[in-house]
Amino acid sequence: MSDQTNILRLVADRLRVARRVVVVTGAGVSAESGLRTFRGATAADMPKDMQALWREFDPMKLATPEAFDANPEMVTRWYDWRRLGCLAAEPNPGHTALAAMERHIASRGGDFALFTQNVDRLHHRAGSQRVFELHGSIIEWRCVQTGETFEPEPTPFERFPPPSPFHPGALLRPNVVWFGEALPESVLLAAFDLAPKADLFFTIGTSSVVYPAAGFVEMAAREGAFTVEVNKDDTAATTRVDAVLRGPSGEILPRLIELAFEV
């Protein structure tokens, strides 16, 4: 039996009896749905439109409040392009396995929480119930004047920057968290409450370089959680976890659920 199979069995044994499971996910979980990650190893011969986003685009010109103030048309066009990509994507077996994990844990009275850095809503669409969006959602847009949010039609905006339907003369922006902005307080409070209580903690498909999400694994480990990384490659968290499952989450997570719950 390979090392990886042994580790998978060990994690499955932990999952079978876990009472409190906390998961943090990142862009890698949606990679098998065809959505581009932000960073990470990219094959040199990969077409440009499949490369990690922050290799092709400058986050400081697109993902900050200053960028929006300087060029709202460019920023909203870019986010609308990504919004339509997210709406066209389908959840993959990794998302589905996490929804199944939640159902199994909940069915025996356990506690499950999924914190995602992803803005694509694919966890919800796969059936996950207790999802905390750390970086907001690109599917919702917000009036910069009133703060009201709504889900625009699944077609491109007609004008850029798009006008707000809530306040004359105001603009819309995606309801995401940009660099330099605060994360939603209720989501952060939930993470600070639940991560230290976890007995099993997963960090999945994230490079673990963007804080505060990258720090949750330590919060859990400090209080005794068994920590597991699922990732295609090494990350900033790899040396800090108890077990590493190396490979695509869309393959590893369904195998883990099968082993843990014999489905």
Regarding 253 and contact with ligand OAD (CB under 6 A), the answer is no
Nearest to 176 by CA among 143, 136, 206, 145: 136
Measured distance CA(234)–CA(212) in Å, rounded:
19
Query: Does 205 sit near ligand OAD (CB under 6 A)?
Result: yes
Query: Please, what is the Cα angle at 198 between 196 and 201, to 5 degrees?
Result: 105
* Residue count of the chain: 263
Q: Which of 95, 104, 124, 135 is catalytic?
A: 135
Q: What does the alpha-carbon distance between residue 216 and residue 193 come to, in Å, rounded to a whole number?
A: 11
Please name the residues in contact with 162: beta carbons below 8 A apart, sequence gap of 6 or more: 76, 80, 141, 152, 171, 172
Number of residues counted as binding ligand OAD (CB under 6 A): 27
The CB-of-109 to ligand OAD minimum distance in angstroms stands at: 30
Smaller CB distance to ligand OAD: residue 47 or 109?
47
Q: Considering the complex, what minimum distance in angstroms separates the CB of residue 39 from ligand OAD? A: 4
Closer Cβ to ligand OAD, 28 or 91, answer by number: 28
Which residues face 150 on adjacent strands? 141
Q: Does 203 bind ligand OAD (CB under 6 A)?
A: no
If one asks whether residue 233 binds ligand OAD (CB under 6 A), the answer comes out as yes
Task: Answer yes or no whether residue 102 interacts with ligand OAD by CB under 6 A.
Answer: no
User: In the stretch 51-90, what mask flags binding to ligand OAD with x, by CB under 6 A?
Assistant: -x------x---x---------------------------
CB of 169 to ligand OAD, least distance (A): 28
The CB-of-160 to ligand OAD minimum distance in angstroms stands at 20
Let me know if 135 is a catalytic residue: yes
With a CB cutoff of 8 Å and minimum separation 6, the contacts of 8 are: 245, 252, 255, 256, 259
Quote the Cα angle for 239-240-241, to 5°. 100
What is the enclosing helix (H) or strand (E) of 80?
helix 72-88
Interatomic CA distance for residues 42 and 34, integer angstroms = 14
Least distance in Å: CB of 63 to ligand OAD? Answer: 5
What does the binding site for ligand OAD look like in residue numbers (CB under 6 A)? 26-28, 31-32, 37-40, 52, 59, 63, 117, 135, 177, 179, 205-207, 210, 231-233, 235, 248-250
